[in-house]
């Protein structure tokens, strides 16, 4: 069992070596409510009729632009400028006669609504009860603390690090190193939980932090502490399907 214990993050927790858990935001702690239907409704409230397809296309274009440029939203001023540019993308994609920029910006922001994943708060509370520091490390602009506050999760966290404030996006190790600094933890004293192997697991590994993959869609076989050594051939990290499984995993408790 020693090999399995060494491979499993809970082994360190039981020995008192685990001090912090770093967490991704979107898909891990919060979910984005479908924005296209909200966009269509907001436009219709203002007298603009658009199809479902047009609303979907407009937000797909906006999201693509945002993902490419989100590092530019590093503070309130630059975030406002970024949102102006994102609104411009929606306006051009919709191509609605009479739709001005201010209205496009207003309907865009009104269409963005984030909610906490149902298992996020209970898992965070349980981890905090065991003395673990919890820090979010996410590819996001500087508004993420507000999003987490709106989702009711901010009081359960010890800090938030975004790629925009760091100036680099996951899998860049600097995002994780900034989160470790807030957590006052060394890489070997922390683990990171996220839903993307390329961004979360690879980035954590680059920073020397162990990773846990959150697979809400069930695309990978789930793991339990006793299965760690046998986790699908060659895997270097455990897999969970719900955040509710995380406390048992890191505390190595059945």
Q: What are 64-84's pLDDT values in tens digits?
A: 999 999 999 999 999 999 999
Q: DSSP 3-state helix, strand, coil percentages of the chain (rounded to 5)?
A: 55, 15, 35
Q: Are residues 136 and 195 in the same domain?
A: yes
For 8-167, list the strands marked E by DSSP.
20-23, 30-32, 114-116, 133-138, 159-162
pLDDT at 5: 34
Cα separation, 46 vs 42, in Å, equals 7
Output the six-digit token pair for 152: 């009711």
Q: Is the model's pTM score more than 0.75? A: yes
Q: Is 9's pLDDT higher than 60?
A: no
- 84 and 8 part of one domain: no
- pLDDT surpassing 50 at residue 254: no
**What is the pLDDT at residue 16?**
56
Indicate whether 20 and 125 sit together in one domain.
yes
> Quick one: 146 and 234 in the same domain?
yes
Domain that holds residue 108: 34-112
Strands (E), the chain: 20-23, 30-32, 114-116, 133-138, 159-162, 190-194, 210-214, 239-240
**Are 170 and 97 contained in the same domain?**
no
Q: Looking at residue 224, which CATH number applies to its domain?
A: 3.40.50.1000
Beta carbons within 8 Å of 146's beta carbon, 6+ residues apart: none
Out of 62, 94, 112, pick the residue that ends a domain. Answer: 112
Burial code of 23-53, b = ≥16 C-beta within 10 A, e = fewer? bbbbbbbbbeeebbebbbebbeeeebebeee
* Band of residue 217 on the pLDDT scale cut at 50, 70, 90: confident
Judgement on whether residues 16 and 142 belong to the same structural domain of the protein: yes
The answer to whether 25 touches 89, Cβ cutoff 8 Å, is no
- Residues 175, 194 contacting (CB under 8 angstroms): no
């Amino acid at each position: 069992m020693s090999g399995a214990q060494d491979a499993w993050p809970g082994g360190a927790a039981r020995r008192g070596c685990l001090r912090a858990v770093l967490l991704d935001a979107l898909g891990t702690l919060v979910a984005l409510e479908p924005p296209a239907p909200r966009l269509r409704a907001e436009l219709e409230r203002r007298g603009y009729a658009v199809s479902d397809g047009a609303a979907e296309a407009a937000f797909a274009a906006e999201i693509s632009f945002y993902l490419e440029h989100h590092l530019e939203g590093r503070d309130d001023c630059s975030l406002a400028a970024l949102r102006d540019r994102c609104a411009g993308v929606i306006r051009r994609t919709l191509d609605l006669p009479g739709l001005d920029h201010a209205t496009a910006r207003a309907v865009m922001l009104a269409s963005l609504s984030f909610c906490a994943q149902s298992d996020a708060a209970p898992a965070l509370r349980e981890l905090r009860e065991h003395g673990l520091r919890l820090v979010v490390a996410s590819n996001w602009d500087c508004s993420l603390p507000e999003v987490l506050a709106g989702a009711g999760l901010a009081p359960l966290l010890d800090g938030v690090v975004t790629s925009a404030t760091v100036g680099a996006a996951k899998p860049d190790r600097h995002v994780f190193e900034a989160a470790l600094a807030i957590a006052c933890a060394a890489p070997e004293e922390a683990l990171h939980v996220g839903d993307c192997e390329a961004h979360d697991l690879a980035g954590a590994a680059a920073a020397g932090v162990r990773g846990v993959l959150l697979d809400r869609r069930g695309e990978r076989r789930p793991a339990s502490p006793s299965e760690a050594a046998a986790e699908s051939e060659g895997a270097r990290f455990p897999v969970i399907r719900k955040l509710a499984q995380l406390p048992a995993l890191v505390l190595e408790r059945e």
